[in-house]
Structure 1
Amino acid sequence: MLVKENLQIRPFDATSSVLQIDENRHLLINRATTELVHILSEATSLEAAHKVFNQSFNQTISMQSFRDLVDEKLGGYQIIQEDAVPEKPSLKNAYLKLKIPLLNARIARYLSIPLQPFFKPLVFWFSVGAMILFLLGMAIGFESPSINQVNYLNLMALIYPTMLIHELGHIAACAKYKLKPGGIGFGFYFILPVMYAEITNIWMGTKEQRIIANLGGIFAEVLYAVILSIVYLISQSPVCLFASLSISVFVLWEFNPFVRFDGYWLLSDLTNTPNLLLKSKQVLSKVMRRSFLHSWRKNNFKVNASRREMLLFAYGFLNTFFILLVLGYTLMSYQKEIIRFPFSIYQIVVKVSQLNLHIQDLHVQLIHILLFYILAIRFLISQLKSLLR
């Protein structure tokens, strides 16, 4: 065997498969590469694999060309037993920074046991419909209490657990489908603190299983909101109703497909497009290149883009528009604060050095402005790179 042992291959769509290298790394490969992996896994030597390859693909390539092909398609992924290609970086959770493990796989799976029965497909879709109707009825039939009627500490005690409940929903769905979920951790998305679940093995599931697993977090939050509403109906405690409605509103935001929330992963599954954001940026960059525009002006450009490329372009364009919309809104709302931001940061640094920093110095506006600067700088850098290619 010329490739690593225990490799697994599962169909992904009509033209490609998912190759599981280990529990933390998966590779999307086309039919030809899938056949190449099978040939290498059954051959006893590279020479034998070369002979079978030429017979299978009706080719007459040389031994050196075959070596180069194997290195090009599979090198650097730790698939080949004697891999001379430098290891290629993994994109797994690359958008999360300063990751800290909190719960290992065994504990996370144990805590998710009460949720696992809900992820049988028929039960899941029926429950989703029933819970949505119930929460709509609560929102329409009951007037939301004022924040002044609610004890803030009690409200936070009810809302903050949704972060863990959300991740347990993902773990429960993967466990139900025997996709070997990992643990739960804490990290930063941009500058926002978030929790995450290690569910990389989701790629080994069917399309429906991937969709349900990616909706698992939202499902668990909605279930928690329903439980809080039921507690309100029994106890008439306004904090339970306020928490339930607050969680429901946040769930709607989580369907936003332009940031890496559950809506993004759902869209990725529905379109069978891993690394959706990266691929859409590549297509958008290709379209906006000066060479492309120059050809278009000369009427030399032929419309031969595939349907997938057009969808990726549309998503990339809308994603860029969304970022510009957020930047524009922040600029209009916080003009003075944006100008004063460097000075505000300087004051905070001075107070920290003097051990004189108070909690009121770290107001929410600073986070908004910091996000504005991060988004603006990243957007300008990405656009500059696109123009220089």
Structure 2
Amino acid sequence: MAAGVPSPKHAAIPLDRSGSDVPRLVDGVQLLGEYQGSAYREPRFLAYRPDEQAVLLTPLLYDLLSRIDGRRDLTEIAELVSARHGEPVTADGVRYLIEEKLEPLGLAALHATIDKVPVADPLLSLAARGVLLPARLVRVIARIFAPLHLPPIVIAVLAALLTLDCWMFTSGHADGAIRQTVADPGYMLLTIGLMLVGTLFHEWGHASGCHYGGARPGAIGFGIYVVYPCFYTNVTDAYRLNRAGRLRTDLGGIYFNAVFIVGLGCGYLASGYAPLLAGAILVHGQIIQQLMPTLRMDGYYIVADLVGVPNLFALIGPIVQGLLPRGRRTHPRPQVNLRPFARRVVTAWVLLVIPFLAGGLTLMVLRAPTYIGIAWQATATRWAVIEQAFTHGHIATVLLYTFATTMLWLPWIGLGLLLARILKRATRAVTRRRGQVTEPATA
């Protein structure tokens, strides 16, 4: 996530305050430099926050932030910023920018600590998340697999994938492998295991692509995204890379899916073991799912980096405001500040994603009672199968049906968490609005 910051050029600045105060960066804040390939009309710079979020800053705010070292006071910082930008900036101006801009963003403060450091909480974020592999281990894995991103190896893998797919879908072996796998619980369990391994390998692709470009990947974790259980990789540091480096990181997961397919296909050719080919076929479905640009999957980040906007979801509100008739806008002039082509692309994305998300969520909520009833009946049926299989010692069947039952309920758990988040935000908004209405006027 990257947060935009409005230009402070026309802000009212309080006067007659001491310039001897010494501001400090919040612990864990890192400066990532210019966001390269930006679609904004003027340059944007990035700072990395302790909650693993990247914040988008104007040149003035970024330069000011870079001058804060815990030793310089406001007057010294003002002199340095003035010299850099060629315009006079006073100590009171620096104070204002820190207190009204940088401190609310959780980047810097004039006091020893910030009372409440902001934490990113987007509506469509991971729920029930946890860490699977720590950052130190992920970086070791990334170094090991980084050579797979060398251009000759990439070309060889893609050529092998094309050849394998042509054979797989024209020879009849794919249909036979699927039939054999579905008919055998042991084969099904192994195929599910291969899919889980393939999903984790997908994350290694993101991490190794990030490392290959010169950035440092973070931890790999798990959670529920909207209604889908998933893995994730923290590659926020890739924002410091140029557009090609960011796209390599974005595409690294799908590329590693291709590597995994080639490996499974070669294994099948060598052994004739049906679950290997069935797994290779199913990984194609993962690739198609990841290319969706409407949710925060690989396709979303690919579009964002191609356009040059790090956080497309943050622009939904301003874009929608700009499309409304002037009389119905809550803000007179929504500030987007994108170049014309980028604005057209982002507008098209917004017009695609709003009906997709609203329609999908509405359908799930309306049909939830029916679907949950079906899931409950299926759970009862599967539990009877599990008991019978356990009695007869069919461990593969027990594990398969237990996993299937768990996966059956995870989307509904995710939907419940999403609705709870929506309700919490709505309650907070109503409370805030009531507070504004009842607040007495002051002279």
TM range (shorter): 0.7 to 0.9
The answer to whether 1:271 aligns with 2:294 is no
Bigger relative contact order, structure 1 or 2, given CA contacts below 8 A and separation 6+?
2
Counterpart CA distance in 1 for 2:338 and 2:421 is: 28
Which residue is equivalent to 1:8?
31
Please, which runs of 5 or more residues in structure 2 have no aligned partner? 1-21, 182-186, 381-385, 388-400, 434-443
1:133 aligns with 2:162: yes
Q: Given residue 46 of structure 2, which amino acid in structure 1 is its aligned partner?
A: V
Shift of 1:75: 1.7
> What is the match of residue 104 of structure 1?
134
Q: Which residue of 2 is the match for residue 27 of structure 1?
A: 55
Q: 1:280 to 1:381 in 2, by over 3 A?
A: farther
2: CA distance, partners of 1:295 / 1:101: 40
Distance 1:218 1:344 in 2: 34
- The answer to whether the 8 A contact 2:227-2:411 is kept is no
Measure how far apart 1:211 and its partner are: 1.1
CA contact (8 A) 2:207 2:217 kept: yes
What's 1:354 paired with?
Answer: none
Deviations 1:319-372 (A, max 9, x none): 0232355468769xxx8x6454576799999x9xxxxx9879959777677777
Matching residue within 208, 213, 222 for 2:258: 222
In 2, Cα distance between equivalents of 1:313 and 1:282 = 10
Shift of 1:111: 3.6
Number of matched pairs: 372
CA–CA separation in structure 2 for the residues paired with 1:123 and 1:196: 28
Q: Partners in 1 of 2:118 and 2:331 — Cα distance?
A: 35
Structure 1: tracts of 5 or more residues without a match: 352-356
Q: CA deviation at 1:175?
A: 2.8
CA pair 319-382 structure 1, distance change in 2 beyond 3 A:
farther
Find the residue that maps to 1:187 and give its secondary structure.
strand
Distance, in Å, in 2 between the alignment partners of 1:80 and 1:295 is 29
CA contact 2:53–2:236 (8 Å) conserved in 1: yes
Amino acid at match of 1:148: R
Change (3 A) 1:373 1:109: closer
1:148 matched to 2:176? The reply is no
Q: Say yes or no: does 1:64 pair with 2:100.
A: no
3-state SS, counterpart of residue 108 of structure 2: coil
Residue 188 of structure 1: aligned partner: 224
Q: 1:197 to 1:366 in 2, by over 3 A?
A: closer
| 1:165/1:221 contact within 8 Å kept | yes
Q: How does 1:291-330 map to 2 (within 5 A)?
A: 291-292=327-328, 306-307=339-340, 308-324=342-358, 326=360
Query: Counterpart of 1:310 in structure 2: which amino acid?
Result: R
Conservation of the 8 A alpha-carbon contact between 2:225 and 2:414:
no
Calculate the TM-score normalised by the size of structure 2.
Answer: 0.68
What letter corresponds to residue 149 of structure 1 in structure 2?
A: Q
Amino acid at match of 1:49: I
- For each residue in 1:159-190, what CA deviation from the matched residue of structure 2 results, as whole angstroms up to 9, or x when unmatched? 22112111122222223334222222221112
Contact 1:145 1:238 in 2 (8 A): no
Q: Which one-letter code corresponds to 2:179 in the other structure? A: N
Residues 259/241 of structure 1: CA separation in 2 closer, same or farther (3 Å cut): same
What CA distance in whole angstroms lies between the structure 2 residues aligned with 1:49 and 1:157?
Answer: 57
* TM-score using structure 1 length: 0.77
How far apart in 2 are the matches of 1:12 and 1:295? Answer: 27
Q: Does 1:78 align with 2:107?
A: yes
Confirm or deny: 8 A CA contact 2:202 2:256 kept in the other structure. Answer: yes
CA RMSD of aligned residues (A): 4.4
